[in-house]
A and B are shown apart, each in its own frame.
Chain A
Amino acid sequence: MKKLDRLTVGGLACLAVLVVFALGSLVGAGGDPDAIVGPRLQPPGPGWWLGTDNLGRSVLPRVMEGVGTTLLLSSVAVLVTAAVSATFGIVAGYRGGYLNELVMRLVEVLYSFPAIVLAILVAAVLGPGQTAALASIVLVTIPLMTRLVRAAAVAVSQRDYVTSAVISGARLPRVLGRHVLPNVAGTIAVQGTYALSVGIAVEGGLSFLGFGVQPPQASLGVLIQQGGTYMIAAPWLILGPGVVLVAAILAINVVGDGLRDRLEPRETRSLT
């Protein structure tokens, strides 16, 4: 096993901190997110380390709750995406024919919508809320992952060991599960990582527009949207959740890059 490079380790560490942060809010660390602890719109100070909001609530526990909401929503959505994409991608790639044609058509249709536009359409149908955010992330991330899983499955299914498994009489689910799935797992892992960062951005954007997670529940998008109103007087209201949101997305992307470079190392050549 090759050692992970420093940047990837840093990304993983940052993610671990955020997860601890989110778990902390479950056991009440950082304080009650709904309790009024002091005067309104106070800059950071003792008692309220990230300042207070327009109701006098401490921002820190709200950010902690928000990280939890955002991470949980995105992770669940990406798991759904991974399951759906893996199933359809593998079957379409291995089987080919009409099924492949149909799956790729549907994927193509979904892929034609800009992410946030698709999310808005979903929110309009389902009504604003967590379900809409979840469904949006799933629909936004499905096309790319399905395509790439399918491509990987096509490549794998032409290899000799798959052919020999088929010839030796293995049943289809066994062939797909034992031979094809392990070989597309890398693709799923890398794309899942990227999908997670897309999911966080989509949840943020949708909630920011008011169509995602609804207050009083906190998510990073909700906090930034609410903070926007008092931004001039109290910039810490968006700085706290904003920095945390960017850190989360960046950390995940860095880990994804590290994962990809490891699974598919690249050759380089010098022009001199």
Chain B
Amino acid sequence: MRLLMWWSGRALSSAATLLGVSVLIFAAVRMMPGGFAETVLGPFATAEQEAELAARYGLDQPVLLQYGHWLAAVGGGDFGVSMISRQPVGAELLARLPITAELTVLAVAASALFGVPLGVLTAVRARPGGGGAAGRLLSGLGVSVPEFVLGSLVVFVFSRHALGLEVGSWVPLTQDPAANLATMVLPAAVLSVFAISVTARTTRDAVMGVLVEPYVTAAVGRGESPWFIVRHHILRNAATPVVTLLGTITAYLLGGALIVEHVFNLPGVGSYIVQAVGRRDYAVVQAGVLLAAAVFIVMNVLIDLLVGVLDPRLGVLAGRRS
């Protein structure tokens, strides 16, 4: 019951945030420079053409109404029409989403698979004064190499020595899964480096926090083995910050995917947004940015659900606070 209240509280606050996000994006798009009529129609449009365009996009109405229309449309899944391609933005986004999703899922999987064990291992072996300088440097390096640098480097190396992996092309998953993977491995790897490092660092911090808890000392005092203690007492108690991080990381990866798709020339949502900004294609920009923020917020709601299950104290704490 308390848990349910905690969950609904979190969901409500997320909805408020999403509303704030939508206002911000709407305001931003209206503030963008240059009449987009000019962008769409070219410099020699007549006044009638411009008026007709403004009517079609609702530009002659008060701003608040425009926002209302826009919100209603967006809520119904209608993101408007691309001013360049004249195609519905929603359909185009949907067609490109699988690529970005695949990239992100691969990177999240890699961080869970490599980052979590790495973090647990380094925490359990930590000694006062921190680990060795080499280990700290390496973990620091992982969070310090931006995707566009690493990506450029990888493109350079693999364009010279392909090693069976494709660079700069893309094959749909449905067409040939093996060939698809060959084209996705490198971009996903570039995207993963940061995610793995951050996951490892967060896991390490979380585990070190749990290690000094009295119940761990109690388990050590009962003569349990390190592996037993990690498995039964540490993993679950250290899980909350790590699981929470996965939400933040998903958002981060969406941003990283934008750069990686651009560098590797993948037709995903990210490269779509980059192109749209260059062409001042407002409908696409607003839809893409809204999508990224919405995914982040929804991810966080899901993670709150999970955290509520993982930590039995949360529901009670929330109940006490209210």
- A residues whose Cβ falls under 8 Å from a Cβ of B: 5-7, 105-106, 108-109, 112-117, 120-125, 127, 197, 201, 204-205, 208-211, 221, 224-225, 227-228, 231-232, 235, 238, 242, 245-246, 249-250, 253-254, 257, 261, 266-269, 271-272
Interface string of B1-28 (1 = CB under 8 A from A): 0000000000001001110110011001
Residues of A within 8 A of B141 (CB): 246, 250
A113 touches B140 (CB 8 A): no
Given contacts A268-B128, A269-B211, contact A116 B17 (CB under 8 A): no
| Number of residue pairs spanning A and B whose beta carbons lie under 8 angstroms apart | 160
B312 contacts chain A at the CB level, 8 A cutoff? no
- Are A210 and B136 also in contact (CB < 8 A) when A109-B24, A113-B289, A124-B32 are? no
Q: Is B252 an interface residue (CB 8 A)?
A: yes
Q: Is the CB of A112 within 8 A of B17?
A: yes
Comparing B59-67, B89-97, B235-243, B292-300, the segment that makes contact with chain A is: B292-300
Residues of A within 8 Å of B58, CB to CB, are none
Q: Is the CB of A246 within 8 A of B124?
A: no
**How many angstroms between the C-alpha atoms of A108 and B148 in the bound complex?**
27
B285 at the A/B interface (Cβ < 8 Å)? yes
Q: Does B116 contact A (CB under 8 A)?
A: no
Are the C-beta atoms of A205 and B148 separated by less than 8 Å?
yes
Residues of chain B touching chain A, judged by Cβ–Cβ distance below 8 Å, are 13, 16-18, 20-21, 24-25, 28-29, 31-33, 124, 126-130, 133, 136-137, 140-141, 143-149, 152-153, 155-156, 159-160, 208, 211-212, 216-217, 220, 226, 229-230, 251-256, 258-259, 262-263, 273-274, 277-278, 280, 285, 288-289, 292-293, 296-297
Per DSSP, are chain A's interface residues mostly helix, strand or loop, or mixed? helix
A6 to B134 Cα, complex, angstroms: 11
Contact A269 B31 (CB under 8 A): no
Report whether B25 and A242 are in contact in the complex, using a CB–CB cutoff of 8 Å: no
Cα A231 to Cα B24 with chains together (Å): 39
Name the A residues within 8 Å of B274 (CB-CB): 120, 209
